[in-house]
Amino acid sequence: MPNLALETHQLRKVYSGAPQAAVEALDLSVPEGAVFGFLGPNGAGKTTTIGMLLGNVRPTSGSATVLGKPIGDRNTRRSIGYLPEKFQFHEFLTGTEFLDLHGRLYGLDAATRKARIPEALERVGLGEKAKTPLKAFSKGMQQRAGLAQAVLHKPRLVILDEPTSALDPLGRRIVRELIVSLKEEGTTVVLNSHLLSEVETTCDFVAIIRRGRVVKQGTLAELTAQPASVVIELEGISERQLLAAQAFGPVEHTDTWLRVETEATAALVSALVGAGAQVRAVTPARQSLEDAFIRLMEDGTDSGSEVDSQDAR
C-alpha cells in the first residue's frame, strides 16, 4: 500500500447561512507521487476542499491528513506549493522580486533563493522576464509566474487550481511538461481543471465530485474503461462471424472491426476464430474522460444538473 499524500474521511463543510453543504461526506485518497485530477462542475466543492486541505477553510466535520499530518499543520504547509485560481500579485515587483518574496515566506535562505529563482523562471518559460515588473506581464505570463511560485521551494505536494485558464497552447504545453517533471521528481500534483483533455494527458488518478460528494474516483484507466464492451479488429468480417458475435450481445461494426457489449471476451474471440475470423487485435472499449464525466453528471438522480457543457470542455 503506497503512502497517501492526501486522505479525507467524511470531510464536510457548510458555510454559515448556506442552505446546503458545499462539501458533503468527502472520502478521498491520493497516493504519494500521483498526478491527481480533481474534477467537478462549477460549484461542486473543489475549491472549498482545497481550502480545507490547506488549512484555510475550517471543516464543519470530518478529518483529513496531508502528507501524513492532520490538516492545518504549520510545518506541512511549507511542503505544499499552491497556485490559487485567483492569484493576487504585487504588480510593482519584478519576476525575481516576486519570487524572492515568496521564497522568504517559504523560509528559503538567501543562497537557495538566488539559485532557485532563475531556475523556477526558466521552468515556466519566463527566463527573460526576471527584471520585468509583473504589471507588464500578460495574464498568461502572470499565471506562469504564479506557477513558478508554487514550485520554487521544491514542495512534496503541488496543488494547482485551474493552472492553464489564461494560457495559450504553448503555455499549456509548458505546464504539461512541468507536471511531468514534477512527477518524475516524485512530487504529488493535484490538478483542478475543467480542461478534461488536459487532465486525460497528465493525470494518472482522478476523482469526480458533484454537489460536494465523490461520484467516482480511481485511476484514469478505471474511469474511462467500459468493461462490458470489447473492440475486435479483424481481416474482414463474414456474415457467419457477425452472427457468432451477435450471440454474445449487441454489436456495432464496420468491415474491419466489431464492438461487442459483453464481458466474455475470451469466449467471443474463440467463437470468432471458430467461425474462420483472423483476429488482429482485441482491446477493451474505452470512453474519453469527457464522455465519462458527462455520463456521471447525467446519471445524477436530482434535477437541475449544474454541469455546463462549456465548462466540461
Ligand X SMILES: Nc1ncnc2c1ncn2[C@@H]1O[C@H](COP(=O)(O)OP(=O)(O)OP(=O)(O)O)[C@@H](O)[C@H]1O
The contact set with ligand X (CB under 6 A) reads 15, 18, 22, 40, 42-48
C-beta closer to ligand X: residue 116 or 194: 194
> Least separation, in Å, of the C-beta of 13 and ligand X?
8
> Least separation, in Å, of the C-beta of 29 and ligand X?
19
C-beta closer to ligand X: residue 58 or 104: 58
C-beta closer to ligand X: residue 45 or 155: 45
Give which of 87, 75, 83, 64 is closest to 4, Cα–Cα.
Answer: 64
> Least separation, in Å, of the C-beta of 191 and ligand X?
13
List the end-to-end C-alpha distance of the chain, in Å, as a whole number.
34
- Give the C-alpha separation, 129 to 144, whole Å: 11
State whether the Cα torsion 213-218-219-220 is positive or negative. negative
> Least separation, in Å, of the C-beta of 102 and ligand X?
23
Q: Are strands 205-210 and 35-39 parallel, antiparallel or unpaired?
A: parallel
> Least separation, in Å, of the C-beta of 215 and ligand X?
13
- Give the C-alpha separation, 152 to 146, whole Å: 10
C-beta closer to ligand X: residue 12 or 46: 46
Which residue bears the cell 519584478? 94
C-beta closer to ligand X: residue 46 or 144: 46
- Give the C-alpha separation, 122 to 192, whole Å: 24
> Least separation, in Å, of the C-beta of 218 and ligand X?
20
Counting beta carbons within 10 angstroms of the beta carbon of residue 232, is it exposed (0 to 12), middle (13 to 18) or buried (19 or more)? buried
C-beta closer to ligand X: residue 3 or 61: 61
- Give the C-alpha separation, 154 to 182, whole Å: 9
> Least separation, in Å, of the C-beta of 258 and ligand X?
40
C-beta closer to ligand X: residue 46 or 113: 46
Three cell numbers written together for 95: 519576476
The gap from C-alpha 54 to its chain's centroid, in whole angstroms, comes to 17
Q: DSSP readout, 113-150?
A: HHHHHHHHHHHTT-GGGTTSBGGGS-HHHHHHHHHHHH
